[in-house]
Chains A and B, each alone.
Chain A
Amino acid sequence: MAEAQNIPVGSTTAGQIAVAAESTVATRMSAPPSFDVADFPVPHGREEEWRFTPLERLRGLHDGTAVATGDGVKVDIDAPEGVTVETVGRDDARLGRATPVDRVAAQAYSAFEKAGVVTVPKETVLTEPIRIAVHGAGGVAYGHQVIELGAFAEAVVVIDHTGDAVLAANVDYVLGDGAKLTVVSVQDWDDKAVHVGQHNALIGRDATFKSFVVTFGGDLVRLHPRVAYAGPGGEAELFGLYFTDAGQHQEHRLLVDHNTPHCKSNVAYKGALQGDGAHAVWIGDVLIEAAAEGTDTYEMNRNLVLTDGARVDSVPNLEIETGEIVGAGHASATGRFDDEQLFYLMARGIPADEARRLVVRGFFAELVQQIRVPDIQERLLARIDEELEASV
C-alpha cells in the first residue's frame, strides 16, 4: 500500500510501484463503493482516503449535517444545436452508471433531487463548446450531471464553477465507441466555497477522453476524477492545473483503472502554491488489472512552491497486475521559486513581478497551451496573473 508523504521542497518522490495480486487501491478504501450514504461510516480523518482533508471545513458534507437549502447553486447550460439538454428525476436509467466510492460522493448521490443529462447524439461533431455554468448562490447543494456522447460524436464541454456554495456533486462522462470528449472543469470559486465531487469517465472502445481540471478558488476543493474503459483502444488524457493560495485546501485524487486491454492513459497535474496554510494534495492511482494487456500509462505531478508556509502532499501510486504492457511510469516533484532565482532573473534586468510571472506562466504553459478553448485559455492566464499580483 502506498505510504503518503509530505514532500520536502526540492525533493523528488519516486512514488510506489506495487505488483499486487489484489488491488490495494480498492482495499484501502474504508468501505466498498455504494450509492447509499448509510453504507459509509462518518469519516473521522484517519482513513486513508480522508487523512489529508480538513473534515471540519467540509461544512457538514461528510456527516449528514449539511442540508440542501434550495438556493445552493444555479446551473445554466448553453449548448449548440443538436445537443439534448434534460433535467430528469432520480429514477432515470441513465443515472448512476458509476458507483460513489466515498461518503461525500454517496451523500451527493443520495441527496440530489433532479439530475442534468446532456446528450450528444451519435456521429454529431460539435464545432462550439457546450457550456455549463454552475454559479453558487451561497447555499448548500447536491447535484448530479451526466454528459453522454454517442458513438463517434465529438464535443468540448466547459463546466465553470463560480460564486459561493457548499456543493457535493458527481459528474459522469459516458463516451460511446470512437467518441471524442474534451472537458474543461474550472473551479473558480469565491474564497469561502466548498466543493467535493467524483468525476467518472467511462470510455468506450477506441474513444478519446481529454480532461482539464483547473482549480483556483474555494476554501476547500476535493475532486476525484476517475477513469474506466468499456472497450479496448480507449485513451484518456487527464490534465490538471491548480493555484493554491494562503489557507486554501485543494485536493485532486485520481484513479485510472486499466480494466481493459490496449488502452492508454496520460496524467499530468501541475500546481503552484503560495501563502501560509496553502495545502495541495495530489493522489494519483493507476491500476493495471490482470486483463489489461497492452496498457500504456504515465502519470506526473509537479508542484511549484512560491513562498514559505505552503504544503504539498503528492502520492503517485501505480499497481501492475500484468507484465504484458507497453509502458507504465510515474513521477512527482516539488520545487520552489526562491530568492536566488528571483535575484538571477532580476540581475538580467527583469523586474520582480515579471520574474515571478515568467516562472509561473512558464511552469503552466505546456498545460494551458493544450486547452484549445481560447476564452478559457485567456482567462486562465489572466487568473494566474491576478493570483501573482495578490501575492506581491
Chain B
Amino acid sequence: MATLEIHDLHVTVEADNATKEILKGVDLTVKQGETHAIMGPNGSGKSTLAYSLAGHPKYTITGGTVTLDGEDVLEMSVDERARAGLFLAMQYPVEVPGVSVSNFLRTSATAIRGEAPKLRLWVKEVKEAMQRLNMDPAFAERNVNEGFSGGEKKRHEILQLELLKPKIAILDETDSGLDVDALRVVSEGVNRVRESGEVGTLLITHYTRILRYIKPDHVHVFANGRIAESGGAELADQLEAEGYDKYVKGGASA
C-alpha cells in the first residue's frame, strides 16, 4: 500500500534578497485510500508544502525527509516524482502555447504508464473522462490552459488526475475561484478517483466549502509553517464556526 511520509520538513524560499523559512518542521503521513484535508490561513505555507512535494525549483529543502513507499522523493527530479506516483493539481495551472490538450494528455499518460496507451482505447478513455467532467470534446484541440476559464482549468487538472491515476494526489486549492456547479463537478471527479481506494489524497484548502463534497478522514490545521492541530472531520466544523484566529495568534506567539 502506497504511503507518503513527510518528516520534519523544512523549506526556504528566496524573496527580496533574503532567505525566508516557510515550512518549519512538517510531519504528515498519507496512506493510499485516505483523504487528508490541510486547512489554514493565507500565508501559512500550505501551497509551499504542495509545490515542495512536487519539486518546484523555487523552493529549497533545508531539512527533513519525504519518502514514497520508502523511496527518497527529495532526490527525484520533478518528472521522476510524477512517474513515481505523485500528482499535484495546481491552483494556477500554466498556459503552454503550441501544445494541444490531447497531445499533452497522451504524452503525459505515456510517460506515467511507461508505454503509449493504445490509441483506440485511449481516445475512448479520454472522451469518457471528459464527458464525466462536463467538458466539450472540442476542448481536446485547444492549447493547454490557453484562454481557459478558471473552471475549465480546474476541470482540466481533475481530468489529468482521473487519467493518470496517481498513488498520491495533492490538490492545491482546487476549490478556489469555482462557482457551486463547477465545484460539484470537480468534487465528483475527485470522489471517483478516491472511490477506487487506490489514491491517497492531500486536499489543501482555505475554505471548508469543498469538504461538504469531499469528506476527509483527517483534518489538519496548518499555521506558521507546520501542522498546528490534527483531528477528524469534526475539526473542519470547528474551523467553520471559529475561523483560524486562535492558530494565527498562537503561531505568532510561538
Contacts and interface: CB of A to CB of B under 8 A. Distances in A.
Interface of A: 304, 335, 337, 339-341, 343-352, 354, 358-360, 362-365
B82 interface: yes
B99 A343 contact: no
A352 B77 CA distance: 10
Contacts of B144: 344
Interface in B49-108: 54-57, 77-79, 81-83, 87-88, 90, 93-100, 103-104, 107-108
A349 B111 contact: yes
A351 B99 contact: no
Contact of A339 (B57, B88, B108): B57
B160 interface: yes
Given A348-B112, A362-B98, A365-B98, 18 more contacts: A304-B98, A337-B97, A341-B96, A344-B94, A345-B99, A346-B55, A346-B79, A346-B82, A347-B88, A348-B111, A349-B111, A349-B112, A350-B107, A350-B108, A358-B99, A362-B99, A362-B103, A363-B98
Contacts of A352: 77, 79
A341 B99 CA distance: 11
A3 to B, nearest CB: 26
A358 B107 CA distance: 8
B107 A354 contact: yes
Given A348-B108, A348-B160, A343 B97 contact: no
Interface residues of B, number: 31
The B contact surface, by secondary structure, is mixed
A171 to B, nearest CB: 30
B83 A349 contact: yes
Given A343-B78, A362-B103, A351 B97 contact: no
Contact of B78 (A335, A337, A341, A347): A347
B250 to A, nearest CB: 33
A382 B55 CA distance: 31
B98 A360 contact: yes
B100 A362 contact: yes
Contacts of A364: 98
B223 interface: no
A359 B99 contact: yes
A114 to B, nearest CB: 44
5 contacts: A345-B99, A345-B108, A360-B98, A363-B97, A363-B98
A133 B77 CA distance: 45
A359 B107 contact: no
Contacts of B83: 349
Contacts of A344: 90, 93-94, 96, 144
Contacts of B143: 362
Contacts of A349: 79, 82-83, 108, 111-112, 164
Contacts of B95: 341
Given A348-B160, A349-B111, A351-B79, A343 B104 contact: no
Contacts of A350: 79, 82, 107-108, 111
A344 B95 CA distance: 9
Contact of A348 (B55, B56, B82): B82
Nearest to A342: B78
Contact of B57 (A341, A343, A354): A343
B61 to A, nearest CB: 16
Contacts of B81: 347
A354 B100 CA distance: 15
A360 B90 CA distance: 23
Given A348-B111, A362-B99, A340 B94 contact: yes
Nearest to A333: B97
Contacts of B57: 339, 343
The 6 A-B residue pairs with the shortest CB-CB distance, nearest first, are A363-B98, A349-B111, A349-B82, A362-B98, A346-B78, A348-B108
Give the interface centre of B97, B98, B103, B143 by most chain A CB atoms within 10 Å.
B98
A360 B98 CA distance: 7
Contacts of B99: 345, 358-359, 362
B98 A343 contact: no
Contacts of B78: 343, 346-347
A248 to B, nearest CB: 21
Contacts of A346: 55, 77-79, 82
B65 to A, nearest CB: 21
Nearest to B54: A347
Contacts of B87: 347
Contacts of A365: 98
A349 B85 CA distance: 9
